Structure 1
Amino acid sequence: MADIPIKPGQLTTRAEMQRVFGGGEREGIVPSTTTPSILIYTDHDSGKEYGYQDGWLAEEDDHGPIFEYTGRGRIGDQTFLGPAGSRNKAILRHVDDGRVLHLFIAAGKIPGSHSDAKQQRYLGEFQLDADLPYTIREASDPEGNQRRIIVFRLRPSGSVQHAKQDVLPAAEKTHARRVSANVSAGSIEEPAAGKKTTSLRSAQPSTMTEHRQTQISQSYREFLNEQQHEVFAYQIKIAGTTSILKTDLYDATDHILYAIKGSSDRQEIRMAIGQLKDYCRHIDPPNPTLAVLVPEKPNADLIDLLERENIKLVHQDGEAFAEHHPTQSHQTPISRK
């Protein structure tokens, strides 16, 4: 994209940005119809009313800083589908569509203005994190109803303003909050891509492993629900950090914490063990049984690894599931009926 007449940290208005980039003056996500741009607006004050807060994570990873931005939809579950999800879909597909994300933060009333219009502080150009474009969380709407929200993970694309006032506040204490089991899914239903691409996608195509993880998670939740088990997940805030951890599944009836993987290979099993050992410290009541749920039975060495770590194994076995307990030398089939 050609040079634009605004720099990170500069104050502007929505009206001025409409003249520069095209698009409307309303909405938080504004895809332009005249330039390859999507304008993204956030407001530290109004977001809290709808159960979320946008800003920089205090922690950086190997790829640098992350700005969390909550998707469109003030009431009910947020989505990528239909008219309600079209603007979220625009962000999700922005690389495929050749669009640049321009991020703005509200910065008080426009001096001398008689309207409620606010100044906008420009942060710079961004793109979605290629490895984890978004995460799903649960939040309260203004009426106190729980809903799923889409939290986009934005990476700087060039020079940006990284101001202290835009960093999310760290949690004062560690807190594990119960949320719907639906939030444990790694993703929500997404619109089908309109074309194939060899470029770095805004959101990488879901891999076979991710599909299998979603499928087995849904199937096993249905199985537990048929058994009248109470199931949910946890969102965990860690004291002194801004990141939010999310468990896969917790069976409150049997006090079992599950890590769910879409593959039974060594990398996935080792990751599941690490997640379980990390998350279980924050579950109340304490000391849950730990379990790994996978699509097929792992090899003997990985089963031995799980046994040594005192972790239960559950895997698909045809139309049913099979359990392998650390203290047993054989698997136990469990039926849907």
Structure 2
Amino acid sequence: MSLMFPYSPGDQFKRADMHDLIGGSFRHGMTKCNGGNDYLLFHDPKNSKKFGYDKWEGKQADGSFHYSGQGTLGNQKLTRANMGLIKANEQGIPIHLIESLNGTCTYLGQYILGDPTFSVEKAPDVKGHVERDIFVFKLVPIANYMDADLSLHLNGRVEGATTFWVPPTFETILLSDPANSRKQIDRVENKLQAEFGGYLISNGHEVLTHSFSFEGLRGTLKPDFWIPCLGLVVEAKPSNAREFIRLAIGQVLDYANLSKLEGNPMIPAILVPNRPTADLCSLINDLGITMIFRNRNNQFEIHPAK
């Protein structure tokens, strides 16, 4: 008979006591438990460093948690526990993340796999010699999770770094997999970015990129354009369809907020190929977001919010 998962975020316990209560393998970092009704992931920062996973693992700037797959020799494979994690997610089995450090476990909460489910990265084998492929799963926290950094932004721990803008590639992006719709979307967006960047440069504007980082978190958040002379932070999307506008609004308002917290406030702007519908234009304007799109003459127009 299965039990309700017995821990709440922040609870600390010994691993042996937990296994006595709900079962599961004591030896592995990924294991089913509770009669197959829960899936456990153990994150040990010391072991992560030992196996070269520390470059990838841990809490990320976007709020996700990156977790390395199972297998310490040779390329990791989508079998056994790695496939078990994917199937648990597909079947709606709760996935629980637990930090294990110096003999004490801390329950971090319940997660699901994000999009993309995983990336393939490089790490040394257990002997530290050969570079190999490992899976780095993207875990996204859901309702019941522990976040020790809820006051992150209030504490002002946001830092930014600016570099020169480099046009994204788009000509060859479909060659490896022409049927991949995600790559088609990427190609359209990259082409739009490259052309808008060229337009800015031809008009004498300095075009930069900017990265936001957070103390204690891995990774960065990067808007598509950082244009100091216009005071704009820009998020580009490949279409003016509602689903893309909604995504752009959330992202660019976050970037604008981060720029303010960093002490370098910028005006949010959205770049799309064509003018959005009237109701979306009104919404964008009401939110104080600048609109950038091509007119009927294929020229870029920049429309500040009124």
TM-score where L is the length of structure 1? 0.48
- Residue 323 (1) aligns with residue 300 (2): yes
Cα distance, 1:12–1:224 mapped onto 2, change above 3 Å: same
Deviation at 1:72, TM superposition (A): 1.2
Deviation at 1:100, TM superposition (A): 3.1
Match of 2:290 in 1: 311
Match of 1:25 in 2: 27
Match of 1:71 in 2: 67
In structure 2, the residue corresponding to 1:175 is in which secondary structure? strand
Deviation at 1:175, TM superposition (A): 0.7
Match of 1:202 in 2: none
Q: For residues 82-161 of structure 1, what are the structure 2 equivalents within 5 Å? A: 83=76, 91=85, 94-108=88-102, 119-121=103-105, 123=107, 126-128=110-112, 151-155=138-142
Match of 2:221 in 1: 246
Asked if the contact 2:209–2:222 (Cα under 8 Å) also holds between the matched residues in 1, the reply is: no
Name structure 2 gaps, 5 residues minimum: 125-134, 167-180, 202-206
Asked if the contact 1:258–1:292 (Cα under 8 Å) also holds between the matched residues in 2, the reply is: yes
Aligned length in residues: 252
The one-letter code sitting in structure 2 at the alignment partner of 1:21 is: G
In structure 1, the residue corresponding to 2:27 is in which secondary structure? coil
In structure 1, the residue corresponding to 2:255 is in which secondary structure? helix
Match of 1:2 in 2: 2
Cα distance, 1:177–1:31 mapped onto 2, change above 3 Å: farther
Q: For residues 222-237 of structure 1, what are the structure 2 equivalents within 5 Å? A: 232=209, 234-237=211-214
Match of 1:111 in 2: none
In structure 2, the residue corresponding to 1:167 is in which secondary structure? coil
Percent identity over the alignment? 13
In 2: Cα distance, 1:67 partner to 1:300 partner: 33
Cα distance, 1:236–1:217 mapped onto 2, change above 3 Å: farther
Question: 1:217 pairs with 189, 206, 212, which one?
Answer: 189
CA offsets 1:137-168 (integer angstroms, 9 cap, x no match): 9xxx99xxxxx9764222356xx8x5xxx724
Deviation at 1:261, TM superposition (A): 3.8
CA offsets 1:230-279 (integer angstroms, 9 cap, x no match): 76452343x9x989983431257987632134653568647745654552
In 2: Cα distance, 1:269 partner to 1:306 partner: 9
In structure 2, the residue corresponding to 1:121 is in which secondary structure? strand
In 2: Cα distance, 1:7 partner to 1:121 partner: 11
The one-letter code sitting in structure 2 at the alignment partner of 1:293 is: L
Question: 1:259 pairs with 235, 244, 247, which one?
Answer: 235
Asked if the contact 2:32–2:40 (Cα under 8 Å) also holds between the matched residues in 1, the reply is: yes
Match of 1:176 in 2: 160
The one-letter code sitting in structure 1 at the alignment partner of 2:271 is: L
Name structure 1 gaps, 5 residues minimum: 58-65, 75-81, 109-118, 143-147, 182-207, 328-337
Match of 2:172 in 1: none
Cα distance, 1:313–1:97 mapped onto 2, change above 3 Å: same
CA RMSD between the two structures: 6.0
TM-score where L is the length of structure 2? 0.51
In structure 2, the residue corresponding to 1:21 is in which secondary structure? coil
In 1: Cα distance, 2:105 partner to 2:78 partner: 26
Cα distance, 1:98–1:301 mapped onto 2, change above 3 Å: closer
In structure 1, the residue corresponding to 2:99 is in which secondary structure? strand
